[in-house]
Amino acid sequence: MICLNYCKRLLIAAICLALIQVPAAAQTDIDGIMMTKNNFCSGLMYSYSNWTNYWEGKLKRENLNLGRVTTQMIGVMGNYGITNKLNVLFSLPYVTTKASAGTLHGMEGVQDLSLYVKWMPIEMKMGNGDFTAYAIGGYSLPVTNYAADYLPLSIGLRSRNIYLRAMADYQLGRFFVTGSGTYVQRSNITIDRTAYYTTEMHLTNKVDMPDAASFNFRAGYRFGGIIAEAVLDNWTTLGGFDITRNNMPFPSNEMNATRLGVNFKYEIPAVQGLSVIGGGNYTIAGRNMGQATTANGGIFYILNFNGKKSATKPSSSKTN
Partner 1 sequence: MKKLLFFLTILIAVAVAIPLSCSKDVKGRTDDTAPLQPAKTDLDGGTWKPVLLTGPTEFAVPAPAATNTPDYIAQINEIKTWQADLTNDEKAIVKYWSAGAILRWNEILRELVAKHNLPPYQNEDGTYPAPNANNPLAYPQFPFSNPPYAARAYAYVSAAQYDALVAAWHYKKLYNRPAPYKVDATINVLIPQTDLPSYPSEDAVVVGAAVEMLKLLFPGDQDYIQQKAEEHKRARIIAGANVRSDIEAGEALGKAVAQKFVTRARSDRAGAAIGNQAQWTQLETDCIARGEKPWYSLEAPKRPPMLPIFGKVKPFLFDSLTAVSLRPGPPPLTGSDKMKQETNEIYDYVNNPTRERLRIVHFWADGAGTYTPAGHWDAIAAEDFITKNYSELRWARNMALLNMSLMDASIVCWDTKYFYFNPRPTQLDPRIKTLTGIPNFPAYISGHSTFSGAAAAILSHIVPEKAAAYNAMASEASLSRMYGGIHYRADCEVGLQVGKNIGGYAVERAKIDGAGN
Least CB distance to partner 1 at residue 71 (A): 16
**Cβ nearer to partner 1, comparing 164 with 284:** 164
CA distance 19 to 104: 14
Q: Whole-number minimum distance, CB 17 to partner 1, in Å?
A: 21
- Nearer to partner 1 by Cβ, of 15 and 151: the residue is 151
Q: How far is the CB of 28 from partner 1 (least distance, A)?
A: 20
Q: Given CA atoms 57, 217, 32, 314 in this order, what sign does their dihedral have? A: negative
Instruction: Compare residues 212 and 302 and give the one whose CB is closer to partner 1.
Output: 212
Read off the amino acid at residue 83: T
Interface residue list for partner 1 (CB under 8 A): 64-65, 101-106, 121-122, 133, 135, 145, 147, 149-150, 162, 164, 166, 183, 185, 187-188, 191-197, 200-204, 206-209, 211, 244-248
Amino acid letter at 206?
K
The beta strand positions in 187-225, using DSSP E, are 189-190, 196-197, 201-202, 206-207, 212-223
Residue number, 133 or 226, with CB nearest to partner 1: 133
**SS3 at position 310:** helix
Give the nearest distance from C-beta 163 to partner 1 in angstroms: 10
| Closer CB to partner 1, 128 or 145, in the complex | 145
Q: Are 315 and 81 in contact (CB under 8 A)?
A: no
What residues have CB less than 8 Å from 94, skipping those under 6 apart? 73, 74, 75, 108, 109, 110, 111
